[in-house]
Amino acid sequence: MAKGIAQSISTRTQLLTQSLRNIAQSPELIEALNNSDLPRAKAVVGLMSAYLPDAMAFRLLLPGDNKPDNSVVPHMGYADLDLVKNTFQKPQLPLIQGERGEHRHLAITHGIKKEGKVIAVILASVDFQALRQSFNILADEQMFIELKQADFVLFSHGSADLKSLGKKTAFKVKDTAWTVSYWHDGSLDLTLIGQILGIILIPVFISGLACYFGYRKLNALLVADQSSVLKATKDVLSNQAGVSYPVRLRVCGLLFPLLFSLNVKMISLILKII
């Protein structure tokens, strides 16, 4: 299960990173930088930030920018500046930065190159609550889940007593600096959890797709498909599952075999979780 959670988080961060890469490769942005038109370049970045869901702040930084910025929330601190500085040398992994509260954010950077050299860096400060939602999957006294960045615990969920008593499983989150670990007490039905996890992680993956394909367009398709998914759920709960539930997104279609494989008790548990 930890592997599934790690994959869910990894998928979302990869899509965010790809979206930022697309912005960094914008012809308008590159042209503005080539013409040393910094105000225009920053304006382009500001406009394109609307295409990145959950973006809290976008900043365009040059090699000489080395001072914290408290003009917008979240603040850009020294940890962010170090991440930007290192991005001028090589690509960096996404990191959760900042003090707790409104200034805590997921920091993602991408360098803009000219003739093979990074001439500017985009720093995106993203709301990481979607990651927390991906993480807080099960509220069960028989398990404890933890997400760490190096030695720092980012999120934890469940019964902490199991850390000293239960069995531990851990997985690295691909393309991040994070590790997902979970402990369980032997009596936990891991087969049930696996089925529940499949139901929950598909919507998480869909929300991540919004970063890549464009939030508005995908959101419209999701709204159209939502009624079919809800109808199928109600039909299963009433033991009247049908054979036709039209959807526009192929990934939404993957929900139906999972729904039909579950019983009423299991679906009721899922609805409580999500």
Amino acid 252: pLDDT = 63
Instruction: State residue 262's pLDDT score.
Output: 57
Cα angle 169, 170, 171 (rounded to 5 degrees) comes to 140
What are all long-range contacts of 207-214, with beta carbons under 8 Å and residues at least 24 apart?
207/12, 207/53, 207/130, 208/11, 208/12, 208/15, 208/16, 209/15, 209/251, 210/53, 211/12, 211/15, 211/16, 211/18, 211/19, 211/52, 211/53, 212/15, 212/18, 212/19, 214/51
| pLDDT < 70: residue spans in the chain | 1-5, 7-8, 53, 130-131, 133-141, 166, 186-227, 230, 233-234, 236-238, 243, 248-274
- Distance from C-alpha of 127 to C-alpha of 106, rounded to nearest angstrom: 6
pLDDT for 212 equals: 47
User: Is residue 263 exposed (0-12), middle (13-18) or buried (19+ Cβ within 10 Å)?
Assistant: exposed
**Predicted structure pTM score:** 0.69
Count the helix, strand and coil residues of the chain and give each as a percent rounded to the nearest 5: 50, 20, 30
Q: Where are the domains of the chain?
A: 2-127, 214-274
- 3: Cα separation from own chain's centroid: 15
Distance CA 253, CA 208 (A): 17
Q: Spell out the residues 6+ positions from residue 40 whose beta carbon is closer than 8 angstroms to its own.
A: 32
Distance (Å, whole) CA 136 – CA 123: 27
- Of 133, 259, 121, 128, which is closest to residue 196 (Cα–Cα)? 259
The pLDDT, as a whole number, for residue 174 is 84
262 half-sphere exposure, CB direction, 13 A CA radius: 29
7-43, pLDDT tens digit by residue?
A: 667 777 877 888 888 888 889 999 999 999 999 999 9
**Residue pair 111/30 in contact by the 8 Å Cβ criterion:** no
Cα separation of the two ends of the chain: 17
**What confidence score (pLDDT) does residue 112 get?**
95
Number of separate helices (H) and strands (E) present in the chain:
11, 8
Superfamily name and number for 2-127: PAS domain (3.30.450.20)
